[in-house]
Amino acid sequence: MRQLVRILLVLTLCVIASSSVAAAATLYDGTLGTLPAAQGWLYYPNLPGLQQVVGNATVLDTTSNQGIQVGYSPLSPPVFDRNVGYTITFDVRVAAESHASNHRAGFSLISLDKDMKGIELGFWQDHIWAQNDGLVSPPLFTHGEDVAFDTTAAITRYTLSVDSANYHLRANGNPTPILSGALRDYTASGLTPYNTPNLLFFGDDTISAAARIELGYVAAVPEPATWAMLLGGAAMMGFCCRCKRRGVR
């Protein structure tokens, strides 16, 4: 009986440890009342007058000129490994957006793992869609899979989950993804951002679109299920081996 209690305790501690390991690392918190640069983010190309704190969010506004390109990336990003799996959680509202091309968006999220594989998502006022990588038809940086979604009504909590080959975007805690697809490899573009490992970018990265957005929160976390399975599996293996040695059933 004591042995069983010990094993159950070990398994419980492993579950707790897995939850701890998988705890979200907050990268930006708008409730602190500061811009992302004050919380360890690079704001580039550091154009003045385009950002301000309003309430519990940073407002980034490029609507004065579609030629503006500006955005945020963490200076010390986590290591993103799609083979392990990871999740990006972010709160954002697209208050206004315009684009001169069906293949561009005034606000984009780019998430690349340590091997530069990942996804770029474009946000319009009424759609969210993925950028193609050009490895197969259609060409590079063209409008991929798409979902009709109102991004303007309120700040929405999105969750981008990445596994070894695919991404899944969820909204407002709904377990059913609103958009899913294969991960991309944009390195063929030769552009520096897409050849940067562990890249996380929020902003306007095109001269053909503009937007006014409110960014309230960003966090990253390894895939919890993966850590739980690894730690729980190791504990169970240890339990089985010990039981076999001692003749316990």
Mean per-residue pLDDT for 224-244? 40
Selected from 2.60.40.1220, 3.40.50.300, 2.60.120.200, 2.40.50.140, the CATH number assigned to the domain covering 23-222 reads 2.60.120.200
What's the confidence (pLDDT) of residue 136? Answer: 83
Is residue 172 predicted with pLDDT exceeding 80? yes
Share of the chain above pLDDT 70, in %: 80
pTM of the model: 0.82
CB-based contact 210:65 (threshold 8 Å): yes
Tokens of 197: 């490992």
Residue 158 has, within 13 A of its CA and on its CB side, a CA count of 25
Higher pLDDT, 213 or 22: 213
Is residue 53 predicted with pLDDT exceeding 50? yes
Nearest CA-CA partner of 54 in 214, 164, 201: 214
What's the confidence (pLDDT) of residue 179? Answer: 98
Q: Mind listing the pLDDT tens digit for each residue in 111-159?
A: 999 999 999 999 999 999 999 999 888 899 999 999 999 999 999 999 9
Length of the chain, in residues: 249
Kindly report which listed range (165-169, 221-225, 231-235) carries the lowest average pLDDT score.
231-235
What's the confidence (pLDDT) of residue 23? Answer: 76
190: left (phi over 0), alpha (psi -120 to 50) or beta: left
Q: Mind listing the pLDDT tens digit for each residue in 1-49?
A: 555 445 444 444 444 444 444 578 999 999 999 999 999 999 999 999 9
Instruction: For the chain, give the mean pLDDT.
Output: 86
246: left (phi over 0), alpha (psi -120 to 50) or beta: alpha
Q: Mind listing the pLDDT tens digit for each residue in 85-115?
A: 999 999 999 999 999 999 999 999 999 999 9
Is residue 60 predicted with pLDDT exceeding 60? yes
CB-based contact 237:20 (threshold 8 Å): no
Residue 218 has, within 13 A of its CA and on its CB side, a CA count of 21
- Helix 2-21 and helix 224-246, axial crossing angle in degrees, nearest 10: 160
Tokens of 220: 């990253």
User: Structural domain boundaries of the chain?
Assistant: 1-22+224-249, 23-222
What's the confidence (pLDDT) of residue 1? Answer: 54
Q: What is the rounded CA–CA span in Å between residue 180 and residue 98?
A: 24
